[in-house]
Structure 1
């Protein structure tokens, strides 16, 4: 599986209004990969498949009829089993929103 890599991603935001680190009534996704989810019937957010949080964790905010999942600036996580060819796409998606490097 030499074509697969692990990415180390740090969440940082310069423009909060277009942040990829907040999802309303949905799971948190980045370039087709699930970063965080809220399992049905629970009041916590969990890491997506192949994601390991090193610093920080996903936060869940509950309202009476909705919820949101967010990552705070400074959150660092590993994203495992990413196709090597997808790394430039992750880097492009994180311009002004974070950093992406090989772990």
Structure 2
């Protein structure tokens, strides 16, 4: 997930890709230094970066919080027609900052996100003109590991879209 590190007069944010992160980071005059390092910022942005971590991933950006993880099973029960979580046009499906399903860049094939294992059902891809709809049908279930701290955030993202069963 997302870890904020303060060292050598700068702050770095190491985090997985999230579609909303780049515009926010550029707004704080952050610089992307590569996948291994992440984003670099001036020290006065530490409090704002921790707020961003809570907003995008439901964590405080501390490494200790990332180490305390739990396994969950999410069962999809999409009830929202206007703003579905598990149906996207020309976009990957994210839940609580984690990529749940995506589309291969080289060919139109739906695939699970990194660390996501489907137990029932699977991502479905359907063409619509020049675009594609990516969806996870109601009744599908998948497992993933999340920081324990992020459980309330993930649960709030699922309101009206599914439910969580905590495995451990």
Q: Over alpha carbons, which structure has the higher Rg?
A: 2
Match of 1:88 in 2: 152
Structure 1: any 5+ residue segments left out of the alignment? none
Match of 2:162 in 1: 98
TM-score by length of 2: 0.57
TM-score by length of 1: 0.91
Q: What RMSD in Å do the two structures reach over aligned CA positions?
A: 1.4
Q: Which has the higher contact order (CA 8 A, sep 6+)?
A: 1
Structure 2: any 5+ residue segments left out of the alignment? 1-65
Q: Distance in 2 between matches of 1:87 and 1:101?
A: 11
8 Å contact kept, 2:93–2:99: yes
Give the structure with the larger strand fraction. Answer: 1
Give the structure with the larger helix fraction. Answer: 2
Number of positions where the alignment pairs a residue of Structure 1 with one of Structure 2: 102
Q: Distance in 2 between matches of 1:35 and 1:70?
A: 10
